[in-house]
């Protein structure tokens, strides 16, 4: 397949590198990253090792031809601009895959594309951006794919991901899985970003009590929205992810460390917004949103 990765940060670069083993991949990224890849290839260290010689461009106008699908890996606050640019260049019949955090990306995409053109990809792979031209694959995980209507391309992409070394599976309820992933992020990312610690530090009894409260609020909102999610199961999953990624730095902490905006509004902020619509109090989540915004303002 011809695959265009729009947003070649850490995760976009990781997926682009492995997919390039069997597919023609082009990365769209920041100037410094693109230049480094053109000069020396994309270096991936850690769980994935190698130098991948991949086409890299700075904007979609430089792309020649028409891709089979576009993997969107930008931050959630850039989603709508990215989709608008993609539609302007390739039209509304293009398949897009959201490889992103947050709960509002689907809504943003549906403003410009039909549901049958949108695929959601939820991953627990862990990757950090080391320097232009190099990323570090810090932990293996699972990638779940799904769509509200389209399944042929979902199955094709799932097969490709498995063939190049990822562990991919098809979701039977991608919206529910999207909420579960976002709730895990809501429990882990803000606290680690505020305290500037690795994920494993959240097993501290005092901090894990905060995790419990965040999780309970998230589940109450999800249930009010009609999702079948149990608090005990969700908390267990959060704890398992903390254990599995104990040495990792959350994406939210990485954003703050690099002086960039976080995705707090698309994760905890979105949960607070939906909670308000159903009359559910989300005091702990709301506090985390305010504290992260304060920290962002100090960048």
Q: Is the per-residue pLDDT at 21 higher than 80?
A: yes
Q: What DSSP line would sit under 275-297, residue for residue?
A: HHHTT---HHHHHHHHHHHHHHH
Check the CA dihedral 104-106-110-112 and report its sign.
positive
50: number of Cβ within 10 Å = 12
Q: Is the per-residue pLDDT at 276 higher than 90?
A: yes
Q: Can you tell me the mean pLDDT for 261-269?
A: 97
Q: Is the per-residue pLDDT at 299 higher than 80?
A: no
Q: Is the per-residue pLDDT at 288 higher than 80?
A: yes
How much is the pLDDT for 244? 87
Q: Which domains does the chain have, with CATH numbers?
A: 2-172 (3.40.50.720), 176-297 (1.10.1040.10)
Q: What 3-state class would DSSP assign to 46?
A: strand
Query: For the chain, what is the mean pLDDT?
Result: 96
Confidence of residue 150 (pLDDT cuts 50, 70, 90): confident
The rounded distance, in Å, linking the Cα atoms of 195 and 115 is 39
Residues whose CB is less than 8 angstroms from the CB of residue 236 and which lie 6 or more positions away in sequence, other chains included: none
The DSSP 8-state label assigned to residue 125 in this structure reads -
The rounded distance, in Å, linking the Cα atoms of 35 and 156 is 31
Check the CA dihedral 119-171-11-100 and report its sign.
positive
**93-144: pLDDT as tens digits:** 999 999 999 999 999 999 999 999 999 999 999 899 999 999 999 889 999 9
How much is the pLDDT for 121? 98
How much is the pLDDT for 139? 87
Structure tokens of 7? 């947003």
Give me the percent of the chain exceeding a pLDDT of 70.
100
**40-52: pLDDT as tens digits:** 999 999 999 999 9
How much is the pLDDT for 113? 97
Confidence of residue 298 (pLDDT cuts 50, 70, 90): confident
| Backbone phi, psi, residue 95, to 5° | -85, 135
The rounded distance, in Å, linking the Cα atoms of 189 and 191 is 6
The rounded distance, in Å, linking the Cα atoms of 7 and 74 is 5
Q: Can you tell me the mean pLDDT for 269-285?
A: 98
How much is the pLDDT for 62? 96
**Dihedral-angle region of residue 72 (phi above 0 means left; psi in -120 to 50 means alpha; beta otherwise):** beta
Confidence of residue 216 (pLDDT cuts 50, 70, 90): very high
Structure tokens of 174? 């991608």
Q: Is the per-residue pLDDT at 274 higher than 90?
A: yes
Q: Is the per-residue pLDDT at 238 higher than 90?
A: yes
The rounded distance, in Å, linking the Cα atoms of 58 and 29 is 5
Q: Can you tell me the mean pLDDT for 199-223?
A: 98
| Backbone phi, psi, residue 27, to 5° | -100, 140
List the catalytic residues.
181
Q: Is the per-residue pLDDT at 151 higher than 90?
A: no
Pick the closest to residue 191 from 268, 282, 102 (CA basis).
268
How much is the pLDDT for 157? 97
Structure tokens of 254? 């990485």
- Which is it for strands 118-123 and 95-99: parallel, antiparallel or unpaired? parallel
Least confident of 70-79, 90-99, 237-246, 272-281: 237-246
Pick the closest to residue 254 from 193, 199, 205 (CA basis).
193
Check the CA dihedral 212-214-217-222 and report its sign.
negative
Q: Can you tell me the mean pLDDT for 43-68?
A: 97
The stretches of the chain forming alpha helices (DSSP H) are 10-19, 31-40, 79-90, 105-110, 152-163, 174-195, 205-224, 231-244, 251-257, 268-277, 283-297
**Dmax (CA) of the chain:** 55
Q: Is 167 exposed, middle or buried (0-12, 13-18, 19+ CB in 10 A)?
A: middle
Structure tokens of 216? 């309970």
| Structural contact between residues 128 and 10, judged by C-beta atoms closer than 8 angstroms | yes
């Amino acid at each position: 397949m011809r695959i265009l990765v729009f947003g070649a940060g850490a995760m976009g670069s990781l997926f682009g590198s492995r997919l390039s083993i069997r597919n023609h991949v082009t990365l769209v990224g920041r100037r410094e990253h693109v230049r480094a890849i053109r000069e020396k290839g994309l270096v991936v260290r850690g769980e994935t090792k190698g130098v991948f010689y991949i086409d890299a461009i700075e904007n979609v106008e430089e792309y020649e031809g028409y891709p089979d699908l576009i993997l969107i890996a930008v931050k959630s606050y850039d989603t709508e601009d990215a989709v608008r640019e993609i539609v302007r260049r390739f039209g509304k019949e293009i398949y897009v895959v959201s490889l992103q955090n947050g709960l509002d990306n689907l809504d943003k995409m549906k403003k410009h594309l039909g549901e049958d053109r949108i695929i959601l990809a939820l991953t627990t792979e862990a990757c950090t951006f080391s320097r232009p031209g190099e990323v570090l694959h810090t932990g293996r995980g699972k990638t779940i794919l799904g769509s509200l209507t389209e399944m042929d391309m979902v199955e094709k992409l799932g097969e490709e991901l498995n063939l190049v070394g990822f562990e991919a599976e098809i979701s039977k309820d991608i919206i529910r899985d999207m909420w579960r992933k976002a709730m895990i992020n809501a429990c882990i990312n803000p606290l680690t970003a505020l305290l500037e610690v690795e994920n494993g530090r959240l097993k501290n009894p005092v901090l894990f009590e905060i995790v419990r409260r965040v999780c309970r609020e998230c589940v109450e909102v999800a249930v009010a929205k009609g999702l079948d999610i149990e608090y005990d199961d969700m908390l267990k999953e959060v704890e398992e992810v903390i254990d599995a990624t104990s040495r990792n730095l959350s994406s939210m902490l990485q954003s703050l460390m690099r002086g960039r905006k976080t995705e707090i509004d698309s994760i905890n902020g979105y949960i607070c917004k939906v909670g308000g619509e159903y009359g559910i109090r989300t005091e702990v989540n709301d506090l985390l949103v305010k504290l992260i915004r304060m920290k962002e303002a100090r960048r």
